[in-house]
Amino acid sequence: MYCEEGNSTTMSGTSGMFKLKPFYDFDNTQIELPDCMFKMSNIQGNSSQTNSGEVDPAVAALECRQEAILADLRSMETDVASLTSKIQPTAQVKTPAPATSASQSSSNLVSGSGLHDVVIYANPNNPPYSLLVLYEQLKQQFRCITKVHMHSSISSVPDKLLGYFNQNGSQPLQRMEAQLSITLIWKNVSQGPEMKILANCQTPIQGEVNILRYLSRLLTPAYDASDDIITVANIDNFLDLASSTLLKGSSKEKAAGVRSLNSALGRGTWLAGNSPTVADIAVWSALHQTNLAKGAPSNVQKWLKSCATQSDFRTALSAVA
């Protein structure tokens, strides 16, 4: 019901309600269509010139700065080449002299010119007796100093533990003269002993056996430096047994661990090899901490008596008794 001019349309025989003019007269109107979406100025050619043909001052300044930088680089290259021709660097590889004795030797962890400082936190309710035994061995190879303190989390400590590292009445060393410093702090630590070497940036070494592993590697030779990998594997096996079974296991696991020790000691005097090792030290300490040494089977009792004849263990027995 509409009508266009020149093209009248009617519905139901009636005329249109209103009229609309056509938008385009396609017969008489010329429509210009674009040949591209949008236009941009030409970026090719001499960009440093303006439309009038003059050089842009900003571009000219940038070119001068670039030329100055290139000139400086060429000058520096000439200077370096001149110095290289005058000074010829030489690389020398120094081979360390072999140690002549156990007291003069040192591992890569303890150098003769520096002080290796460790701090150990331990609970007096479960004293790590292995440290006493190992300390006697460390004293034979290094100049050691020790200190024992009590943390505020502990109300009291037995006198035998406060005198844990006894220097046998010898003249104490000055700090500047020592190679190894061990500071023991009796503290309420619930997850076993902890040791710190670099207190500000190192995660503590936790567990008596892990501390024992670290300190025993200071000795020459270290327990795991042997070519006999079977013996080394046996030592690690007994270290794990001392830590996981004897110290932290349930009652049944501890009883099974003691039976395993009794069986192993039936084949030899010591746990691994023909002489005491760090495995004997760890297991000996674990048995005394857990009171498993009392009432132990015959082979274990015989082994405990053999340990008591060793000078290193005798010193530690004073703290156990």
Query: Is residue 239 classed exposed, middle or buried when 0-12, 13-18 and 19+ CB atoms within 10 A define those classes?
Result: buried
Q: Which domain holds residue 124?
A: 116-320
Residue type, 46: N
- The secondary element (H helix, E strand) that includes residue 184 is strand 180-186
Q: Is residue 32 situated within a structural domain?
A: no
Tell me the whole-structure pTM to 2 decimals: 0.64
The listed range with the strongest mean pLDDT (47-51, 115-119, 247-251) is 247-251
Residue 236: the pLDDT is 94
Which band of pLDDT confidence, cut at 50, 70 and 90, is reported for residue 111?
Answer: very low
pLDDT at 190 over 90: no
The contacts of residue 89 (CB under 8 Å, 6+ apart) are none
Report the domain count for the chain: 1
Q: Is residue 37 situated within a structural domain?
A: no
Which CATH number goes with the domain that contains 307? 1.20.1050.130
pLDDT at 6 over 90: no
Chain Cα centroid distance, residue 187: 24
Listed range (7-21, 65-79, 141-155) with the worst mean pLDDT = 7-21
User: What's the mean pLDDT in 260-282?
Assistant: 93
Q: Tokens 């007096």 map to which residue? A: 124
pLDDT at 37 over 90: no
What's the CA gap between 318 and 298, in Å, rounded? 23
CB 312 within 8 A of CB 136: yes
CB 197 within 8 A of CB 118: yes
